[in-house]
Amino acid sequence: MLNIIIFGKPGSGKGTQASLIKDNYNLVHISTGDVFRKNTSQGTDLGKVAVQFMSKGELVPDEITISMLKEEIKSFMPCNGFIFDGFPRTIIQAESLDDLLKSMELNIDMVVALDVENNKLIERLLNRGKTSGRSDDKSEEKINKRLEEYDKKTKPLIDFYKNQKKFISINGVGDLNDVTTRLISIIDSKIS
């Protein structure tokens, strides 16, 4: 079984690359955004609790997120593995994910980061905002705030996973297919 976290700043291409490489390894793509939408639209017990926080503009507590992830993982078992996109975002979430996977006799094999400079990210997100409908992609001020939030809360995960000898960084700039090829090449080199 192969379990990968695809990691990077907002706009680095995590979701796009996860959806492209999952088929190469026959992995299940788990996006926390999709998991939230599924639970809230289906009105699951966890979804109802999450909505109470989301409706107030608050973050869903980690315990609820982890519980949703556990149910999502269980629903796909057995499988060849998972590619996690958008989670974890904090050290506490990473520790919780490790504990969850350990309880299921699983573990993260590698964390692959897409490295992209902030000016390129801002350009990408503003372009995406023209078609995505996402309000947080339409304002450079909001994008900068997200990048600052990443630096404060998510960037510490780099050292967390380096200490576990699971962190790999690749150049996330260039033609879409070139980035995919780089990703596949680095994953292949680690699993062979």
Q: What is the CATH number of the domain that holds 74?
A: 3.40.50.300
| Nearest Cα to Cα of residue 85 among 152, 3, 143, 170 | 3
Domain with 113, as residue range(s), is 2-184
Predicted model pTM: 0.88
Q: What is the pLDDT along the chain (192 residues), one digit of tens a residue?
A: 999 999 999 889 999 999 999 999 999 999 988 898 899 899 999 999 988 887 776 778 889 999 999 999 999 999 999 999 989 989 999 999 999 999 999 999 999 999 999 999 889 888 888 887 777 778 888 888 888 888 888 899 999 999 999 999 999 999 999 999 999 999 999 887
Both structure tokens of 34: 């999709």
Active site residue 89: yes
Domains held by the chain: number: 1
Q: Is 128 a catalytic residue?
A: yes
The residue to which tokens 């576990």 are assigned: 164
The count of other CB atoms within 10 Å of the CB of residue 84 is 25
Annotated active-site residue in 9, 22, 89, 124 = 89
Domain presence at residue 192: no
171: tokens are 């150049």
14 is catalytic: yes
Residue 159 lies in a domain: yes
Is 124 known to be catalytic?
no
Domain-embedded: residue 190: no
In a domain, 19, yes or no: yes
- With both helix axes pointing from N to C terminus, report the angle between 62-76 and 32-41 in degrees, rounded to the nearest 10: 90
Q: Active-site residue among 9, 14, 22, 124?
A: 14
Given the residues 38, 146, 166, 190, the one annotated as active site: 146
Catalytic residue among 37, 102, 134, 155: 134
Q: Is residue 73 part of a domain?
A: yes
Exactly one of 128, 138, 153, 190 is catalytic; name it. 128
